[in-house]
Amino acid sequence: MLKVKILTKNFSVSLSSRVKGRKKYDYGGCVENVKKRDYDGYLHCLVFPEHLVRFAFAIKAFNLELAMVPDQARSDPKIAQMRYKFWEDSIEQVFKGKSKFHPTLMELSFAVEKCKLSKEYFKMMIDARCNMLNMESVQSFSEYSDKLMEVYKGCNLLLLQLLSEKSTESKPSIRGVEEFSRAQGLISSLKGIRYLAAKKQCEIPRTILKEFSISERDLFRLEMNKNLHNYVQQITSSTQEALQNGVENMRRSQDRKHLKVVLLPRINLLYNLKSLKKLNFDIFAPKVFERSPLLPLRYKLNSFFIQFYFLVVSVRFLFDSNLQQ
């Protein structure tokens, strides 16, 4: 059973597996890792139907493992490539029914065994992260935006597939996931500027720096200037547009009831956009990316609305079926 108790600033969660014959620490390791490093993702997983929560945590935990690779091997890109190759080979083994003794891989094996998950989407996640190691090939802002979108696309498609229990082929569904993933990638890139600049590092492609007349030295001062301000405005504008496009495609999708769950983290993205505008797009302001204390409550309220929506859809389906008979 999954029990959720809302406190003022966070969830107090009691998680226990109802699956016999599995070691509990496999599940617990994934949950704690996601909770510690991606609290927004942690709250997102808790919104999933109870029988899918465990598998959602496994996917999120795998995404985190890939996201941590650059920090673990920032001094040498070749080491990062080797790490991604390790995860690629591990996914191959998972789909062959062979799993290494690793909490995330063991949980993924269980998820693949119980659910219809595509190996293609897992490989998409790895390839997208690997492509981010080489930013010199990026020639325009739109190309950079596409790369950021690809980083989150595979994970979101897996979550949608987990909910719908079938391959995602609907164009509005895929387009909705792509636009939402783009928004996630763009906001994440802004957070990355601040995080890396403090370490005298920069991941913005040189062509983009040149286009907006930004120098790495400007970033390393941890101070805003007119050119950086214009760049942040461009990112926030593109994020807002992507979120709107994602919602519009969700409404046109035949699978919108499941897309509602996948796109739920837009709550935090909208809060980030609001904070940026309030602080005049200053990404170095102390509280610009601070987590909202009401975030757990907002997730919980939205989960109630989603459950109510599912109930209405189910009742309507049964009513229509009876009329046809």
207 plus 74 within the same structural domain: no
**293 neighbors 9 (Cβ within 8 angstroms):** yes
143 plus 244 within the same structural domain: yes
The pLDDT-based confidence of 293 (bands split at 50, 70, 90) is: confident
pLDDT score, position 103: 87
Q: What span, in angstroms and rounded, lies between the C-alpha atoms of 283 and 131?
A: 25
The pLDDT-based confidence of 18 (bands split at 50, 70, 90) is: very low
Q: How many structural domains comprise the chain?
A: 2
pLDDT score, position 128: 96
The pLDDT-based confidence of 283 (bands split at 50, 70, 90) is: very high
49 plus 148 within the same structural domain: no
146 plus 64 within the same structural domain: no
Q: Is residue 159 part of a domain?
A: yes
Residue 20 has pLDDT above 60, yes or no: no
Q: Would you call 13 helix, strand, or coil by DSSP?
A: strand
171 plus 235 within the same structural domain: yes
Q: Is residue 314 part of a domain?
A: no
Residue 32 has pLDDT above 50, yes or no: yes
139 plus 279 within the same structural domain: yes
What confidence tens digit (pLDDT) does each residue in 93-133 have?
A: 999 988 778 889 999 999 999 998 999 999 999 999 999 98
Closest listed residue to residue 129, CA positions, set 84, 79, 180, 196: 84
What confidence tens digit (pLDDT) does each residue in 156-184 have?
A: 999 999 998 766 667 888 999 999 999 99
Q: Is residue 303 part of a domain?
A: no
One-letter amino acid for residue 67 of the chain: A
CATH of the domain at 99: 1.10.600.10
Residue 143 has pLDDT above 50, yes or no: yes
Contact partners, residue 4, CB within 8 Å, separation at least 6: 11, 13, 46, 300
| Structure-token match 């008979």, residue found | 325
Measure CA of the first residue to CA of the last residue in the chain; give whole Å.
37
pLDDT score, position 294: 86
**249: domain range?**
135-284
Contact partners, residue 101, CB within 8 Å, separation at least 6: none
Q: Is residue 79 part of a domain?
A: yes
Q: What span, in angstroms and rounded, lies between the C-alpha atoms of 196 and 56?
A: 29
Q: What pairs with residue 11 in β-bridges?
A: 6
pTM for this one?
A: 0.85
CB atoms within 10 A of CB 323: 7
The pLDDT-based confidence of 204 (bands split at 50, 70, 90) is: very high
What percent of the chain is modeled with pLDDT above 90? 60
Q: Of 90-94, 102-106, 305-309, where does the model show the most confidence?
A: 90-94
Closest listed residue to residue 106, CA positions, set 17, 168, 37: 17
Q: Is residue 112 part of a domain?
A: yes
pLDDT score, position 25: 41
Q: Is residue 107 part of a domain?
A: yes
pLDDT score, position 167: 61
Structure tokens at 300: 């919980």
Cα 290 to Cα 187, 262, 283, 284, 287: the distances in Å are 13, 23, 11, 12, 5
152 plus 277 within the same structural domain: yes
The pLDDT-based confidence of 255 (bands split at 50, 70, 90) is: confident
Computed over every residue of the chain, the mean pLDDT equals 85
**126 neighbors 87 (Cβ within 8 angstroms):** yes
Alpha helical stretches, state H, 115-203: 119-131, 141-164, 171-197
Burial class (CB in 10 A: 0-12, 13-18, 19+), 319: exposed
